[in-house]
A and B are shown apart, each in its own frame.
Chain A
Amino acid sequence: MSTAALQSRRPEGKIGPGPSFPRVLHSEFIKFRTLLSTLILVASTVLVMVGFAALNAWGVGQFSEASKSDPQAAAAFAAQGADLTSGIPTSGIAFAQLIMGSLAVLLMSSEFTTGMARSTFTAVPKRTPAFVAKLLVVTVCAFVVSMVSSFLAYLAASPILENYGFDIDLGTEHSRRLLLVSGIYVAAVAAIGMSLGTLLRNSAGGIMSLVGLFFVVPIAFQLIPGDFFEEARKYLPDNLFERIVAAAPAEGALEVWQASTWLGIWVAVPLVAAMVALKQRDV
């Protein structure tokens, strides 16, 4: 605790490096990896994805065994067999998006609830670079975690399926698209989550809004009768995702490019709102 340890004064007019974007990105990555809660949520995502794929593989196998005694069911099963198995590695994706989305909410809302934001935004007073850096860290992490856990899920499910004479072909166009779009979708949900965390500055509020948007609203829209809700349901993010990865689109479905554009809007609008709010509001 001696004051003598202070550095000597720098020469007049010379000042060291400031918060360039790569440095801010590095800082956000350090912040990301040094929280236990982050690591727990990432591990949970992997666990849930692998667990669901294994369960699903076992279920499909059991069902195929049971249907062997019934020739009609067996024929129907054989017809859609490939489609059934191709979805297995990403069968836990709904939970992955919820967990990674919540993680994204938390990473931003905790800045405000703990007061860390005051440190963050005195180091980066322009604020937007810190937001973009955090966004990049969160979305890339969400994408990578989703891809890696899908692959691990494939590794876990394959031996189970082989027992029943099935295999998963990751090489088909549909499989590849499913994997890639799932990863992008989880990243998109994380981006929405981070915007909610920035706008609401409250962990519980942000996570509940996310759950509302992705789990409650789609179900509510399905239950409420009427053409309006039937039509509006198509534009909910979850259904847009389903449409993009669907092997055979339903009657009257949106085109893939339309669905992708709408999903882009779902991500862009909250992001822009969050960035404007962050720049304008007091910390």
Chain B
Amino acid sequence: MIEATGLTKVYGDKTAVDGVSFTVQAGHVTGFLGPNGAGKSTTMRMIMGLDRPTSGSVTVNGVPFAQHSAPLREIGSLLDAKAVHTGRTAYNHLLAMAATHSISRKRVQEVIDMTGLGEVSKKKVKGFSLGMGQRLGIAAALLGDPQTIILDEPVNGLDPEGVVWVRNLVKYLASEGRTVFLSSHLMSEMALTADHLIVIGRGRIIADAPIGEIITGKGQSRARVRTDQPQQLMRLLAADGVSVEVQDHELLEVTGLPPREIARTALDNRIMVYELTPLQASLEEAYMELTKDEVEYHSLITTGVAAPAQTGGNR
């Protein structure tokens, strides 16, 4: 279990993480979702004791990370695929990390096989692809057979097979009762992997709820309506908080009104409706809705200027 209380990190005049409080429960895959520069990586580095919080605190299984007697056996982390000296082989990197906790060579070989690094484990990390680097990072995270696993953008650079593998791995780890906390800016990946979502934007928590609740809870109800009198129906439906969009000849999309109300209005006014389909918001839409005010780096395509270079991001 990971517990953050009022966690804050200020770099100069920029507040990267702003009084964040959350709990990551064991036995679930908890997704940490947010746009680039939202403070995901900084929060994770603070959990791992690498960055000192400006204020607030974070504990893992009730104790600050640095005070665990055997940290690697308690929490495994992939914070950055490049947390490796590239002049060393993958095997030697893992061996050096294992040595700090008297983890056996057998276990080192085990995580190498588990992550599919067998063929390249005796090669220097310098020549690794991004995906291989990720696998090495995951191997390092699993080394101590930890109860808590933290993965920052684990599917970055993985091929489709690797993505499926990570998805199954984290679900399996959670099913064993472990705490799994993974960040991503890929909503589609989160929709398939996570049970619970913590959404962060500009250093603040925007949502912290089961994934189903985030999809249905925040999005307004929408429905697709086909009628042969679209103009009349539009006029009748018009009200505060309701928007009607003409999508095609005789096809409307109504937002902010439950299907039952639409049907009632149509019936009362003797307007024929030949399709009325409730539309479910996707995680993508729910997320856009949640973070629309929180995105730090809007693209400036409309002004004809290229999108600004991304600062922040994965430091």
Mask: chain B, 74-105; 1 = CB below 8 Å from A; 0 = not: 11010110111111110011011101111100
Query: Which of chain A's residues have a CB closer than 8 A to the CB of B103?
Result: 16
Please report the total number of B residues contacting A with Cβ < 8 Å.
54
B165-173, B183-191, B194-202, B253-261: which lies at the A interface? B165-173
* A119-133 interface bits toward B, Cβ cutoff 8 Å, 1 = contact, 0 = none: 101111110000000
Decide: A16 and B96 in contact? CB cutoff 8 A: no
Q: Determine which of B48, B51, B93, B110 lies in contact with A5 in the assembled complex, contact meaning CB atoms within 8 Å.
A: B110
Contact of A18 among B75, B97, B101, B176 (CB under 8 A): B101
Given the complex, which residues of B lie within 8 Å of A123, measured CB to CB? 71-72, 97, 100-101
Cβ A119 vs Cβ B83 within 8 A? yes
CA gap between A16 and B113 in the complex, in Å: 22
* A260 at the binding interface (Cβ < 8 Å): no
A35 contacts B88, C-beta separation under 8 Å: yes
Is B101 touching A35 in the complex (CB atoms < 8 A)? no
Asked whether A35 and B87 contact (CB < 8 A) given A18-B73, A123-B100, the answer is yes
CA distance A111 to B103 in the complex (A): 22
A72 within 8 A of B: no
B292 on interface, CB distance cutoff 8 Å: no
Contact at A31–B88, with CB atoms within 8 Å?
yes
Given A7-B145, A9-B176, A35-B88, CB of A16 within 8 Å of CB of B116: no
Quick one: which of A1, A24, A36 has the most chain B CB within 10 A? A1
Spot the interface stretch: B62-70, B275-283, B304-312: B62-70
For residue A118, CB closer than 8 A to chain B, the reply is: yes
The reply to whether A124 and B110 form a contact with Cβ atoms under 8 Å apart is no
A15 touches B172 (CB 8 A): no
Which residues of A are found within 8 Å of B97, using beta-carbon distances? Answer: 27, 119, 123
Give CA–CA (A55, B119) in the complex, Å.
48
Task: Identify B96's interface contact among A27, A36, A280, CB under 8 A.
Answer: A27
Check B65–A115 contact: CB distance below 8 A: no
Closest partner residue, chain B, to A113 (CB atom): B85
A125 near B71: Cβ-Cβ < 8 Å: yes
User: CA of A169 to CA of B68 in the docked complex: distance in angstroms?
Assistant: 56
Question: How far, in whole Å, are A24 and B97 apart by their CA atoms in the complex?
Answer: 9
Q: How far does the alpha carbon of A5 sit from the alpha carbon of B165 in the complex, in Å?
A: 14
A residues 204-257 near B (Cβ < 8 Å) are none
Chain B 129-188 residues near chain A, CB threshold 8 A: 140, 142, 144-145, 165, 168-169, 172-173, 176-177
Q: Is B19 an interface residue (CB 8 A)?
A: no
Q: Given the interface contacts A122-B77, A126-B66, does A23 sit within 8 Å of B71 by beta carbon?
A: no
Cα–Cα distance between A2 and B85 once the two chains are bound (Å): 27
- Taking CB atoms, residues of chain A closer than 8 Å to B144 are 16
Are the CB atoms of B68 and A115 closer together than 8 Å?
no
A2, B116: Cα distance in complex, Å: 9
Among B80, B96, B165, B168, contact of A34 (Cβ-Cβ < 8 Å) = B96
Q: Tell me whether A119 and B52 are in contact in the complex, defined as CB-CB below 8 angstroms, given that A19-B100, A27-B96, A27-B100 are known contacts.
A: no
Q: How far is the CA of A110 from the CA of B69 in the complex (A)?
A: 27
Q: How far is the CB of A125 from chain B (nearest CB, A)?
A: 4
Contact of B70 among A15, A24, A126, A283 (CB under 8 A): A15
Given A16-B73, A27-B100, A118-B50, also A125-B65 (CB < 8 A)? yes
- Enumerate A100-145 residues with CB–CB distance to B below 8 Å: 110-111, 114-119, 121-126
Across the interface, do A282 and B45 meet the contact criterion of CB distance under 8 Å? yes
Chain B nearest CB, measured from A70 CB (Å): 55
Q: Which chain B residue lies CB-closest to A9?
A: B176
B72: nearest residue on chain A (CB-CB)?
A: A123
- A119-B140, A282-B51 known; A18 vs B69 contact (CB < 8 Å): yes
- Looking at the assembled complex, report how far the CB atom of B281 sits from the nearest CB atom of chain A, in whole angstroms: 32
Which of A18, A23, A37, A110 is in CB contact (< 8 Å) with B99?
A23
- When distances are taken between beta carbons in the complex, the residues of chain B under 8 Å from A116 are 83-85
A16 nearest in chain B by CB position: B73
Give Cα A122–Cα B47 distance, bound, in whole angstroms.
Answer: 10
Q: With A16-B102, A119-B97 as known contacts, state yes or no: A1 contacts B70, CB within 8 Å.
A: no
Residues of B within 8 A of A119 (CB): 83-84, 93, 97, 140
Shortest B168–chain A CB gap in Å is: 6
Q: Complex Cα distance A114/B65, Å?
A: 23
Q: Write the chain B residue with the least CB distance to A38.
A: B87
Residues of B within 8 Å of A31, CB to CB, are 85, 88, 96
- Is B8 in the interface zone, CB < 8 Å from A? no
- Additional 9 contacts, C-beta under 8 A, given A280-B52, A282-B52: A7-B110, A18-B73, A19-B71, A30-B96, A34-B92, A115-B84, A123-B101, A125-B48, A283-B45
6 A–B contacts from the bound complex (CB under 8 Å) = A1-B165, A6-B114, A6-B176, A110-B87, A118-B83, A125-B68
What residues make up the interface of B, taking CB atoms closer than 8 Å to A?
45, 48-52, 65-66, 68-75, 77, 79-80, 82-89, 92-93, 95-97, 99-103, 107, 110, 113-116, 140, 142, 144-145, 165, 168-169, 172-173, 176-177
**Cβ-closest 10 pairs across A and B:** A18-B70, A125-B66, A27-B99, A118-B83, A34-B92, A283-B50, A282-B51, A30-B96, A116-B85, A3-B172
